[in-house]
Amino acid sequence: MNIPFLGKWRRRHSGDADDGLADAFASDPEGVSELLGECELLRSHAAAAGLELDDSPASLNALDQLPPRWRDDPEALPWIGNDAGLYLGTVVVRTVPGAAWLLRSGGSPAVRLASGREIPVVEAGLDWAAQGVPELSQVYAEAAES
């Protein structure tokens, strides 16, 4: 996978790391989107359950229906939650007109809708993984309405 912004970001020797990452978000949004959409751990858990994540809104509903076996593994839970949030953001960015990734202060990726509303997708994914709410499909439905 060729992600040009990573080379530029790594070559920087001065400045704040968040500035370099923010530059990457601005200079190569497609590369950032591709990187954030990988979600390998979530995709492997879904595949083990017979679910292929195709970056569609329907796949969010299917994820909501999976038995939350990751809750039995306290080490995996935050990683699954992070991936679930990034996957949610990926689906929103790819299917909701005007939606785009942004880097919040503190370095957490989020999604900004055309209306200007920001969705803290990683936090939503962590809550979903730990408690089952909010459902990923519900967060998507609210974003698609905006």
CB 102 within 8 A of CB 109: yes
- Record the pTM: 0.84
- Whole-number percent of the chain with pLDDT over 90: 71
- Specify the pLDDT at position 1: 46
pLDDT one-digit tens code per residue, 53-84: 999 999 999 999 999 999 999 999 999 999 99
Q: Please count the other Cβ atoms lying within 10 Å of the Cβ belonging to residue 142.
A: 13
Is the CA virtual torsion 86, 92, 97, 99 positive or negative?
Answer: negative
Q: How confident is the model at residue 106 (pLDDT cuts 50, 70, 90)?
A: confident
- Say yes or no to pLDDT of 12 above 70: no
Supply the pLDDT for residue 3: 54
